[in-house]
Amino acid sequence: MKTIEHWINGSPTAGTSPETAPVFNPATGQEQARVALASAADVDTAVTAATAAFESWSESSLTQRTQVMFAFRQLLVKHEEELGRIISAEHGKTVDDARGEITRGREVVEFACGLGDVLKGSFSDQVSRGVDVHNFRQPLGVVAGITPFNFPAMVPLWMHPIAIATGNTFILKPSERDPSAANFVAELYKRAGLPDGVFNVVHGGKEAVDAILTHSGVEAVSFVGSTPIARYVHETATSHGKRVQALGGAKNHAVVLPDADLEFAANHITAGAYGSAGERCMAVSVAVAVGAAADGLVEILERKAGEVKVGPGDVPGIEMGPLVTKASQERVENAVGTAATQGATVVVDGRGLKIDGHESGFFTGPSLLDHVTTEMDAYKEELFGPVLAVVRVDTLDEAIGVINANPYGNGTALFTGSGEAARRFQRNVKVGMIGVNVPVPVPMSYYSFGGWKDSLIGDSPIHGPEGIRFYTRPKVVTTRWPQPKQQVAAGFNFPTSS
């Protein structure tokens, strides 16, 4: 059986550890490969390679770095279909959905291609007599990314293009559930002309993660995953002197007002809830129906949930694939059962779905729960599956209160025809990313992605301007160039400008 190796210093590397983990095809339920699990020694090998590469890469010109990014971007376009099928085969999402995540990741590459303008410093002339001040930013060194299974291409692409374009070298630790996309991207970087050692991939579990978090040669760590692990990553890495981006979990609400176009709202909420089988940190998992909107909204959501085409991700026309593992399938289906026992109305029950020819696949159908309260497990837990809970409230202010009381604050949406309601919502809701008649408000690459509350541990969002800030440190230079033989008086008082 194929073993997926690490990528260190420009080539596949077996590593020193004999440990491996299975990689499944979620559509069939069958093991299709093994992935090598890195030891601390393997992580050290990657850090050593990245440290050596940093010496020259950090001194390369901005033109050289952006030329590599332009070439890398073209290769992503050329091989989008191939990479999409690699993702679909290991994650389970449809090939179309995988191509979509590649596109959104490529937008960050395009942002990195234009760093020449973003990295311009500032210059202040004659701040004091004969004295000028300017500033600029420099790379940190070796930085690392620890990324989740649900976006094996996009989330890493939110990190490494900016890190590399600003002059750092990068170590990626992707999810061991779908590791092949990372190696494919590494090959594209090499073909784009990126020097060996600038981008490295180490696969593995907790041992590899801990080795990254504690290694003295790693300057910064970016992480996307569950909130408990985000807290662990943040606490461990910062205690070892590192910068940390740590993005956690979510429970995203879509509020529907009575003046909304219910067909439009239900159509987009359905896609936001069940796309990628709900395995998105920005998935719509709660629909908050306000007043008279509730009955009509649930009726349309029921119809649309029943129309979702479920099957293997590589079959044309399929809209939702399987969950990533058998354990995920069981957890989601158990959650639907628990909701029913706690008093929710199971309007659409996706449990027990079998796909002809793929009876062992990790499939579950869309589930729709009505009359869910904020005390139920289906509301409180991040299910990370195709389950949409409907919470009924009387007013917009009550809906805002529900969202603000939730511990997560990643994304939210409002469906309405009222500008006043939209303005009140976006000003009062305690969430980092907001959509108005947009169900999944993931910002463009030139803005930064990050939530509030338990969805962001620390204060460092990802990509966009915050990404530039995170992967660089500033210098401010104050200069004086006196004329030859000019006497400039020096004083013992604290220096001032005059």
| pLDDT grade for 498, boundaries at 50, 70 and 90 | low
Question: Which one, of 317, 279, 269, 239, lies nearest residue 26 by Cα?
Answer: 279
What contacts 475, CB < 8 A, 6 or more positions away? 135, 136, 137, 138
Q: What is the pLDDT of residue 484?
A: 81
Q: What percent of the chain has pLDDT over 70?
A: 99
In the block, tokens 């389970």 appear at 92
What are the respective helix, strand and coil percentages of the chain, to the nearest 5? 40, 25, 40
The letter for the amino acid at 232 is Y
Residue 140 CA, chain-centre distance (Å), reads 22
DSSP string, 308-326: --BS-TTSTT--B---SSH
Q: What is the pLDDT of residue 493?
A: 78
Annotation marks residue 281 as catalytic: yes
Q: What's the CA angle centered on 26, arms 22 and 31, to 5 degrees?
A: 30
Q: What is the pLDDT of residue 469?
A: 97
**Confidence check: pLDDT of 231 > 70:** yes
For 180-198, the pLDDT digits (tens) are 999 999 999 999 999 999 9
Please identify which of the residues 257, 281, 422, 456 carries the catalytic annotation.
281
74 CB-side CA count, 13 A: 8
Beta strands 6-8 and 11-13, pairing class: antiparallel
- What's this model's pTM, rounded to 2 decimal places? 0.96
Q: What is the pLDDT of residue 371?
A: 98
For 136-167, the pLDDT digits (tens) are 999 999 999 999 999 999 999 999 999 999 99
| pLDDT grade for 490, boundaries at 50, 70 and 90 | confident
Mean pLDDT, all residues of the chain: 97
Q: What are phi and psi of 415, to 5 degrees?
A: -105, 120
The Cα–Cα gap between 231 and 72 comes to: 33
The Cα–Cα gap between 487 and 493 comes to: 18
For 290-329, the pLDDT digits (tens) are 999 999 999 999 999 999 999 999 999 999 999 999 999 9
